[in-house]
């Protein structure tokens, strides 16, 4: 047998052995958590799907580990230098690496049973109490079985590796020569490509992420498919990233105290979130449907733009004239993930941090799960891949029953790297809503558009709107919403539905006066329903995406637990609205705009109502301090809640 065949057989055999052991670990995790799937109806098919996804994730880890031996063996094979020393070296390599992988896998089983999540970077918080932690582990006798099985597996794995290498070395080995290199080199290239694909885990634009394991609304089965080592490493990497914070502005204790006073709360029960408050409705609950349309990059400034003497958003401007319109409204941040989190779950954007991408998914309390608990059908429509920004996993864990994404749409409808265009997405969403509407339960649907994001794909029909593609695409996005409403008006559910339209964030429009551009956060909020008779109404009090949840619950006259930073904008007037960009915080009222930049350490106070660029902080220091304290307290309290897993009140 050729040396190269023996070498490849060696690598593949160990690869398969490792996959079998990791699959057995997953089966053990399943058997110790059967209570979490008792209510699952499609039990067999869902378990099979979770286990299959598990092999997929296991293969990613195995490919990472196999990459080095594969490369070294292919290179040595060119010179016929694969020998006993090569095998002995990689025997040690495999045993050491997989000992760590198997250790994480077995430790994950009791850890998951206790915390209902995989082993993660939080274990490093125990470093200072390492002796106490070790004592606790060894005093818990139920852990002994996992330790024992782990030792047996490592010993057996090591024995099989040495046995395998010894047996392969006994085979008659022939050197590669002559024309055989024309087979050998392409074979090595193909194996390298397969290994890289295995490491990436998929053919798509992005490599595999933990969200790829999520496929249903059962939290345990979603987590079952994730490889513990993959999860642990991703969490360590994400946790090691440096994010902006405001620890130097206000302490956690003072921030929580200030925030509680703003919401009229006494110090909260330690078992609950510090800002949780029960809101009791004063009238009978309305059984109305809700449709939220998060419009990509829809700055309020775009509604004022005219090209060739015509508005580029004629439909939205007409809709405002028969709606509740909030003209002093701001996005929580400047990224889509911020807009989703704030609008649906009432949490502010923590600067450059993407909370949805946390490997340990934060459990939040907002419109989706609150309405789901009140018998609503919940749906989310996105234009791109389901795992983009970890959306699929995050949304399934936080109240959405059905997720529709690029994987559900015809491939020919994909327009760019961000997926399908707004007209198709809105049409598809309407058809799916029509399928759900005849049921006795009301529905809550969220539609996330994307066309107003570069690269712009402008239909020919809209090229005459302007010479600027960034305005042409806005006109297209506006028209897509017009068509959606035209078609929706024909449906029986239309008259009993509240439509909520807002930007996920803004964009740069025209000349900006301030270092923190207001057009990036100033967005429209339009709330329309044929059932409301007191429209149009313009609300000019400061408000933000975090206020959408309590405001909608107020319109529905429904009681609920408000564990968010939002208020009902029809009942409560904020003194200020706070928001952020990646490296700065902003706070605004009717007259002044306060900013603080974390990189430059410079803050400013501007009379934006007069479009003044003069920094008047020194003249109005008390005002600036008040705005700084208000915004910093909110951000710090939100960070505390996220860190201590208090974003959802435990029942």
| Calpha distance 241→294 (Å, rounded) | 29
Q: What pLDDT does 311 receive?
A: 98
Please state, in angstroms and rounded to a whole number, the distance separating the CA atoms of residues 108 and 278. Answer: 36
What is the rounded CA–CA span in Å between residue 575 and residue 199?
A: 51
Q: Which two tokens stand for residue 396?
A: 């399934």
Both 257 and 152 in a single domain? no
User: Over 50: is that where the pLDDT of 507 sits?
Assistant: yes
Q: Tell whether residue 296 is among the known ligand binding residues.
A: yes
Contacts of 629 (CB under 8 A, 6+ apart): 250, 258
Three-state secondary structure readout of 31-89: HCCHHHHCCCCCHHHHHHHHHHHHHHHHHHHHHHHHHHHHHHHHHHHHCCCCCHHHHHH
Answer yes or no: do 219 and 338 share one domain: no
Q: How many domains does the chain have?
A: 2
User: Per-residue pLDDT for 478 more than 90?
Assistant: yes
Phi-psi region of 308 (alpha: psi -120 to 50; beta: other; left: phi over 0): left
Q: What is the pLDDT of residues 376-408, one digit of tens each?
A: 999 999 999 998 888 999 999 999 999 999 999
With residue 476 as reference, give the H or E element that holds it: helix 469-488
pLDDT of residue 1: 47
What phi and psi values does residue 405 have, to the nearest 5 degrees?
Answer: -145, -175
Question: 405 in a domain, yes or no?
Answer: no
Predicted local confidence at residue 210, as pLDDT: 84
pLDDT greater than 80 at residue 128: no
Q: Are residue 233 and residue 258 in the same domain, yes or no?
A: no
Task: Please report whether residue 423 resides in a domain.
Answer: no
pLDDT of residue 260: 94
Using only C-alpha atoms, what is the Rg of the chain?
28
Burial 76-109 (b: 16+ CB within 10 A, else e): bbeeeebeeebbeebbeebbebbeebbbbbbbbb
Please pick, among 334, 336, 446, 564, the residue that the annotation labels catalytic.
Answer: 336
> Do 162 and 104 reside in the same domain of the chain?
yes
* pLDDT-based confidence at residue 352 (cuts at 50, 70, 90): confident
On whether both 232 and 330 belong to a single domain, the answer is: no
Q: Is 378 a catalytic residue?
A: no
Say if 401 falls within a structural domain.
no
pLDDT for the residue numbered 415: 86
Domain that holds residue 260: 252-269+277-376+429-442+452-643
The enclosing domain of 303 has a CATH number of 3.40.720.10
Instruction: Over range 223-247, report the average pLDDT.
Output: 82
Same domain, 235 and 304: no
| Domain identity same for 9 and 56 | yes
Q: What is the pLDDT of residue 214?
A: 85
3-class DSSP state of 120: coil
Determine the pLDDT at residue 367. 98
Query: Of 87-91, 245-249, 589-593, which gets the smallest average pLDDT?
Result: 245-249
Who wins on pLDDT, 545 or 508? 545
Residue 2 has pLDDT above 70, yes or no: no
Which among 21, 186, 29 has a CA at the least distance from the CA of 94?
Answer: 21
Which has more confidence, 169 or 278? Answer: 278
For residue 527, being part of any structural domain is answered with yes
| pLDDT of the residue at 176 | 67
pLDDT tens for each residue of 353-380: 788 887 788 999 999 999 999 999 999 9
- In this predicted model, what pLDDT tens digit does every residue of 490-504 receive, in sequence order? 999 999 999 999 999
Residue 457 lies in a domain: yes
The answer to the question of whether 505 is labelled as a binding residue is yes
Q: What is the pLDDT of residues 9-68, one digit of tens each?
A: 899 999 999 999 999 999 999 999 998 888 888 889 999 999 999 999 999 999 999 999
Q: Are residues 192 and 77 in the same domain?
A: yes
Tell whether 528 and 599 lie within a shared domain. Answer: yes
Confidence of residue 348 (pLDDT cuts 50, 70, 90): very high
* Position 158 in a domain: yes
Domain presence at residue 245: no
State whether 457 and 594 are in the same domain. Answer: yes
CA neighbours closer than 13 Å in the CB half-sphere of residue 137 = 14
CB atoms within 10 A of CB 280: 7
pTM given for the model: 0.79
Instruction: Compute how many other C-beta atoms are within 10 angstroms of the C-beta atom of residue 144.
Output: 10
Supply the pLDDT for residue 491: 97
User: Mean pLDDT, the chain, as a whole number?
Assistant: 90
Is there a single domain that holds both residue 488 and residue 591?
A: yes
Examine residue 392 and state whether it is found in any structural domain, yes or no: no
Question: Does 179 lie in the same domain as 105?
Answer: yes
């Amino acid at each position: 047998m050729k040396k190269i065949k023996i070498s490849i057989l060696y690598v593949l055999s160990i690869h398969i052995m490792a996959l079998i052991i990791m699959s057995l670990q997953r089966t053990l995790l399943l058997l110790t958590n059967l209570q979490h799937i008792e209510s699952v109806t499609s039990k067999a098919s869902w378990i099979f799907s979770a286990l299959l996804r598990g092999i997929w994730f296991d293969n990613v880890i195995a490919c990472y580990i196999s990459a080095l031996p594969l490369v070294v063996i292919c290179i040595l094979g060119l010179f016929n230098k694969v020998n006993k020393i090569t095998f002995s070296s990689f025997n040690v390599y495999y045993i050491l690496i997989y000992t760590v992988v198997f250790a994480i896998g077995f430790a994950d089983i009791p850890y998951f049973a206790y915390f209902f999540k995989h082993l993660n970077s939080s274990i490093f918080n125990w470093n200072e109490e390492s002796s106490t932690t070790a004592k606790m582990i060894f005093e818990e006798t139920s852990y002994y079985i996992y330790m024992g099985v782990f030792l047996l597996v490592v010993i057996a794995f090591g024995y099989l590796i040495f046995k395998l290498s010894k047996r392969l070395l006994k085979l008659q080995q022939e050197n590669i020569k002559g024309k055989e290199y024309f087979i050998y080199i392409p074979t090595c290239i193909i194996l390298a490509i397969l290994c890289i694909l295995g490491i990436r885990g998929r053919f798509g634009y992005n490599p595999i992420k933990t969200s790829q394991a999520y496929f249903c609304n059962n939290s345990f089965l979603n987590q079952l498919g994730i490889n513990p080592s993959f999860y642990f490493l991703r969490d360590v990497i994400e946790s090691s990233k440096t994010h902006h914070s405001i620890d130097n502005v206000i302490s956690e204790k003072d921030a929580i105290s200030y925030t509680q006073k703003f919401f009229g709360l006494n110090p909260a029960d330690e078992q609950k979130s510090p800002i949780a408050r029960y809101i009791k409705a004063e009238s009978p609950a309305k059984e109305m449907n809700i449709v939220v349309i998060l419009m990509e990059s829809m700055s309020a400034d775009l509604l004022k733009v005219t090209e060739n003497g015509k508005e580029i958003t004629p439909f939205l401007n007409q809709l405002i004239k028969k709606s509740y319109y909030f003209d002093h409204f701001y996005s929580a941040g400047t990224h889509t993930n911020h807009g989703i989190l704030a609008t649906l779950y009432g949490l502010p954007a923590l600067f450059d941090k993407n909370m949805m991408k946390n490997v340990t998914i934060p459990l939040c309390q907002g419109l989706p799960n609150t309405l789901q608990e009140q018998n609503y059908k919940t749906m989310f429509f996105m234009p791109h891949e389901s795992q983009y920004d970890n959306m699929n996993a995050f949304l399934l864990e936080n109240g959405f029953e059905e997720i529709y994404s690029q994987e559900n749409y015809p491939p020919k409808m994909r327009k760019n790297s961000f997926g399908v265009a707004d007209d198709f997405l809105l049409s598809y969403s309407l058809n799916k809503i029509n399928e759900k509407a005849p049921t006795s339960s009301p529905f809550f649907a969220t539609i996330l558009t994307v066309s107003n994001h570069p690269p712009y794909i402008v239909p020919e029909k809209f090229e005459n709107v302007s010479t600027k593609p960034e305005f042409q695409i806005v006109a297209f996005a506006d028209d897509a919403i017009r068509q959606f409403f035209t078609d929706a008006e024909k449906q029986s559910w239309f008259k009993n539905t509240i439509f909520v339209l807002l930007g996920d964030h803004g964009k740069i429009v025209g000349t900006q006066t301030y270092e923190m551009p207001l057009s990036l956060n100033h967005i429209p909020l339009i709330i329309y329903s044929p059932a409301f008779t007191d429209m149009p109404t313009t609300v000019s009090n400061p408000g933000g995406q975090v206020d959408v949840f309590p405001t909608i619950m107020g319109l529905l006259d429904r009681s609920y637990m408000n564990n968010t930073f939002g208020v009902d904008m029809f009942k409560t007037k904020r003194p200020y609205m706070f928001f952020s960009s990646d490296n700065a915080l902003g706070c605004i009222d009717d007259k002044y705009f306060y900013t603080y930049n974390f990189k430059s350490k410079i803050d400013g106070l501007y009379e934006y109502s007069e479009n003044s660029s003069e920094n008047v902080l020194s003249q109005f220091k008390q005002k600036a301090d008040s705005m700084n304290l208000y915004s910093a307290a909110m951000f710090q309290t939100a960070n505390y809640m996220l860190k201590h897993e208090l974003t959802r009140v435990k029942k």
